[in-house]
Amino acid sequence: MSTSDRIGRFLREMGEALEAEHNPYGEKSFRVAPEQIRPVLEKLRRDYGFDLLLDITAIDKIELGKAGEPRFDVIYNLRPHDTGDRIRLKTSVPESDPALPSVQDLWKTANWCERETWDQYGIRFKGHPNLKRILNHKDFVGHPLRKDYDIKKQQWLSEADDLMDEMEKKRKRTSDALSKETLFVNLGPSHPAFHGAIRILAELDGETIRNSVSEIGYLHRGFEKSAEKGTYTHVIPYTDRLNYLSSVSNNVAYCMQVEHMLDVEVPRRTQVIRVILSELARIMDHMVCIGAALVDLGALTNFWFLFNEREKIYDVIEALCGARLTHCYIRIGGLAHDLHDGFEAGVRALLQSIPETMTDVQNLVGRNRIFLDRVIGVGVISKEDAISYGFTGPCLRACGIPHDLRKDEPYYGYEEYDWDVVIGENGDTYDRLWVRFEEVNQSVRIIEQALSSMPGGPVNVDDKRITLPPKDAVHGNIEALMNHFMLIMNGVAPPAGDSYRAVEAPNGELGFLIVSDGSPKPYKIKVRPPCFMIFSAFDEMIEGGMVQDAIATLGSLNVVAGELDR
Amino acid sequence: MGLEETVGQSALTTKIDAVLNWGRKNSLWPLPFGTACCAIEFMGVVASPFDISRFGAEVVRFSPRQSDLLMVAGTITHKQAVILKRIYHQMAEPKWVLAMGACASAGAFYDNYCTLQGIDQIIPVDVYIPGCPPRPEAVLHAVVELQKRIQNGEKPKGMQGAA
Ligand code: SF4
């Protein structure tokens, strides 16, 4: 079914329940009455193939000046897993009774998305089996993303949640469990394999995990609230710190979204530079994922190999922008500045050394019996479950689904480069790691072609509303000085409305839903963090397996806390 | 931390203390409490190009019972704070604390509802490392700084005023 067919048929059949919403960005967004939302979503899921629920979030409209309207909008962001056919449904709920039916039985990922919307906005989802806070701690009072919650109002936690309430619910499902003698063990958050910010409470029968309850939010540092505080430009450094293994990808995703809202396209040279940097970021990200996963399996040498290579990439990027990890090099409408002279030579040297390092590592583990025994057939997830849990990126491709936004919804000329989408077969830990290995090689191919096709020209759009005037003009004439001043103080102001676009980040679909009220401050920014959805499947993936399998599985998912908890 | 408390001050105990401090200084065992971006730079500090083992501090331990240097690398949220405090108290004395990065030192630009504005609100800090994230050299500098203090017989912040 093609895009227009699918949505056209849906509109014909469900037309009465929907009210098309004017969207200044030409995106498909419909309003649905609250009592209709579940039936409509059910239809979309069952009959029209919208099997990927990207995200659920809310908008607190209290400061939008729409008196008389209910206070909250709840947004469902959907697409079929194999196309870029996007659709958003919106429904309104009043402050007095902010409740909607849960859809966690239709999409498994809705479970966590709804919990987050409850935690942050106080929207209740009726029929949700476990509607408790997810990002904020258990003693937290109020809902921080409501506009009337003061950003600086901090709340202390007395002691960590013991998670036994969730555990007891789970244990009741398996009735024989209650009669057996089992042991409860906490893994994380301070645990070498749980990377400091993830925790699970596991019920062990010997070494087998019978039940597992995971807790996240240890690195919830308020990105979305902080992003509402300043101008659009102020948000860029925060995006560096979402998935900090590949900060450029976040910069690019965010700036691309804002540029889309401002209806400008960056010059071709900038597009090519962004592609090169995004692919380098993907390589760095995959290297840490593979390296850390192998350390957790006991193969430390690989980590040194990969980190040495990463240092070489750092050197090139540091020469470019002065930072090793948090680059903040992308700007709305272009780049902070053009490339330096040695950039191309630096990247060409990397293109030589990266494949060598990858081959070294592959040689170390590729036929290593211990490695293979620990990853093959471990942490398997089926295609259907992966989609239902909102998997995207390497973890989805490992299940054999050849979906990649760089191919299916190409941006920045990705369609012109010659490269392959890498897929796995079984959706196990081995496939997830191996897909990443191969993707590094594909990224190298893309970078090679991009470098050779690099055009000249400016790197910033020629638009006074967006790009700062050159420094000598600022020092030389009053008009440029005023322009500079206005841009620094106010920055850009996209037209009122909401918009969502996404890029293929190293972990999968990374998108920003931005709500603008027409002012120079973002009204709301919601990031769709790929690993949040992926990690929500973790409990199910490890239950029934051994503890050591859980460690191997986690390593292959590349859960990055900054992105997970935001 | 001296023997003086038990056997009193003498030329002998002073010598033994110097030897002990020398040993402590050159064999710090860090517990990397890495929560965020700074933890990735910490990996860089450990990896070969910077190599923290040149300073004798490469024996990274995730058990508080086995470490004497708590390296807090990353943002500490209120949810995390209770865990950090507990880990600190589980460490045996003498123990030192490094706050790596703007977040651990002061909350950085996360001046909001969920982020602790510096770990010194809950545990004593010996050395603060500025940067977001700090460069590996800065982290090594902090280790050397700490080593000087240990050699000089200075007590960790957490034990000052205790005696
Ligand atoms: S100081 Fe900067 S780099 Fe370090 S954890 Fe905080 S935000 Fe990340």
Q: Which of residues 506-565 of A touch B (CB under 8 A)?
A: 561-562
Confidence of residue A175 (pLDDT cuts 50, 70, 90): low
Handedness of CA B150, B155, B159, B163 (dihedral sign): positive
SS3 A59: strand
The string of pLDDT tens digits covering residues B48-64 is 888 888 887 777 788 88
* Residue with CA closest to ligand 1 atom 2: B132
A141 inside 8 A of chain B by CB: no
Nearest CB to A189; choose among B83, B103, B135: B83
A99 inside 8 A of chain B by CB: no
Its domain, for residue A227, covers 223-565
Number of domains in chain A: 2
In a domain, A199, yes or no: no
Looking at A126, A153, A175, which one is the last position of a domain?
A: A126
Looking at A100, A126, A152, which one is the last position of a domain?
A: A126
Q: In what order do the strands lie in the sheet with A208-215?
A: A183-187, A199-205, A208-215
Confidence of residue B161 (pLDDT cuts 50, 70, 90): low
Span B24-155: which CATH code?
Answer: 3.40.50.12280
Is residue A120 domain-shared with residue A227, that is, in the same domain?
A: no
Looking at A73, A91, A126, which one is the last position of a domain?
A: A126
> What's chain A's average pLDDT?
87
Which residues have any ligand 1 atom within 6 Å of their CB? Answer: A 241, 326; B 36-38, 74-75, 101-103, 108, 132-133
Q: How far is A126 from chain B (nearest CA, A)?
A: 27
A12 inside 8 A of chain B by CB: no
Helices (H), A425-477: 429-452, 471-476
Q: Indicate if the pLDDT at residue B100 is higher than 90.
A: yes
B51 phi-psi bin (left φ>0, alpha ψ -120 to 50, beta other): left
Mark yes or no for CB contact A153/B37 under 8 Å. no
Nearest CB to B132; choose among A192, A303, A326: A326
Q: Which residue has the higher pLDDT, A25 or A351?
A: A351
Report strand pairing: A52-60 vs A183-187.
unpaired
Mean pLDDT of A326-351: 90
**Minimum-distance ligand 1 atom for the alpha carbon of B102:** 1
Supply B98's token pair.
């490094």
Distance CA A55, CA A77 (A): 5
* Residue with CA closest to ligand 1 atom 6: B103
Distance CA B134, CA A247 (A): 16
Nearest CB to A219; choose among B35, B44, B112: B35
> What separation in Å is there between the alpha carbon of B107 and the centre of ligand 1?
9
> What's chain B's average pLDDT?
85
What are the start-end ranges of the E strands in A117-198? 124-126, 183-187
Q: Which residue has the tokens 């967006």?
A: A466
Domain-wise residue ranges, chain B: 24-155
The string of pLDDT tens digits covering residues A401-439 is 998 888 888 889 898 899 999 988 888 999 999 999 999
The string of pLDDT tens digits covering residues A82-105 is 777 888 889 989 888 888 999 988
Nearest CB to B79; choose among A217, A241, A314: A217
Q: Which of residues 338-397 of A touch B (CB under 8 A)?
A: none
Angle CA A401–A114–A78, to nearest 5: 40
- Please report, for the domain that includes residue A308, its CATH number: 1.10.645.10
Contacts of A308 (CB under 8 A, 6+ apart): A357, B47, B48, B49
Residue type, A293: A
Report strand pairing: A99-101 vs A124-126.
parallel
Distance CA A289, CA A557 (A): 8
CB atoms within 10 A of CB A519: 13
Residue type, A135: L
Distance CA A72, CA A70 (A): 6
A234 inside 8 A of chain B by CB: no
pLDDT recorded at residue A513: 92
ipTM of the modeled complex: 0.84
> What separation in Å is there between the alpha carbon of A366 and the centre of ligand 1?
35
pLDDT recorded at residue A67: 74
The string of pLDDT tens digits covering residues A499-526 is 998 999 999 999 999 999 888 999 999 9
Length of chain B counted residue by residue: 163
Q: Which residue has the higher pLDDT, A349 or A16?
A: A349
Q: Indicate if the pLDDT at residue A47 is higher than 50.
A: yes
Mean pLDDT of B12-31: 81
Supply A179's token pair.
């009669």
Is residue A117 domain-shared with residue A259, that is, in the same domain?
A: no
- Please report, for the domain that includes residue A45, its CATH number: 3.30.460.80
Q: How far is B10 from chain A (nearest CA, A)?
A: 43
Cα atoms found within 13 Å of the Cα of residue A227, Cβ hemisphere only: 27
What percentage of chain A reaches a pLDDT higher than 70? 98
